[in-house]
Amino acid sequence: MEKVVLITGATSGIGLACARKFAKNGDKLILTGRNRQRLAEIQKELTDVGTEVLTLVFDVRDREAADRALSELPEGWREIDVLVNNAGLALGLEPEYEGRFEDWDTMIDTNLKGLLTMTRFVVPGMVKRNRGHVINIGSVAGDAAYAGGNVYCATKAAVKALTDGLRIDVAGTNVRVTNLKPGLVETNFSNTRFHGDTERAANVYKGIKPLTGDDIADVAVYAANAPEHVQIAEVLILATHQASGSVIVRQ
C-alpha cells in the first residue's frame, strides 16, 4: 500500500538514502531541508523514476516556518503515514568545559527541538486517523557518552527518551514509534562535526568498513512495512568491527 512519507534533513546522508529507499518501495515523498537547489535536484532524480515528490524548504529549528509549510500541504499530501525525524547533527569534539555555546544551541535546537516540532505538528493527525509511524533517527551515542561527545550524546539520549515517551503516549492507538540507533555511518556527518575539516573527518572512517546511509534506510523501510501488529521499537545498527560508541577495532 502506497504511503505518504515525510523525511526531514533529506538532502544528504541517511535522509537522502531513506528518500531513495522509500521511493523504490513505491511511496510518495515529502522531503524537507534547508537547501532549495539540492532538494530540487533530488526531486528531479526521483520524479524521473516515477516517484511523486513534494519538497518543503525550511529549517526544523524554525517552528513558524515548519508550521506554515505543513499547514499549506496540498490535497493528497496532508495525511502523512510515516514521519522520519532524521534532521540532526554533531558539532565539535571538545571537552564539555571547552565547548562552543553556538554549537550546543545548534545541536539542541535541531536534534531535540526540531524533532519535537515535527512530532507535534504531524502526530495529532496520525492519532486522529488511528494509523501512522514515527521513525526517529537516534544514535549509539545515546546509549553511553564517549570522549568529546558530551552534548551530542546527551541529545541522542534524549531522542531515546522522547521516542520511548511517545510510544507510551500512543500505545492505545495503531500509531507505531521506532528509534533507529546507527553507529559509524560514512556520510557528511563527520565533515559537519569538524566544521569542514575534510582530512580530520576522513580519519574517522580509517581502518574500518563503516555503515552507509543505505544500511540505515533499509532498516527504516523494513520497520515501516512490518505487519500492522508488529512494532519495531528500537534497533541498534553497528559496523561489524564496532562494539559500542567508543569501541572500534581498526585494521
Catalytically active residues are: 152
Measured at the CA of 48, the angle between CA 45 and CA 53, to 5 degrees, comes to 70
Per the CB < 8 A criterion, the answer to whether 177 and 230 are in contact is no
Q: Residue 58: count other Cβ atoms within 10 Å of its Cβ.
A: 18
For residue 189, the SS3 value is helix
Contacts of residue 213, defined as CB under 8 A and 6 or more positions apart, other chains included, come to 13, 14, 15, 16, 17, 18, 185, 187
Distance CA 180, CA 178 (A): 6
**Whole-Å CA distances, 201 to 92, 207, 213, 237:** 11, 13, 16, 21
Looking at residue 64, its amino acid is: E
For residue 181, the SS3 value is strand
Strand partners, 54: 30
Looking at residue 251, its amino acid is: Q
Q: Chain centroid to CA 219: how far?
A: 12
Closest CA to 89 of 59, 69, 118: 59
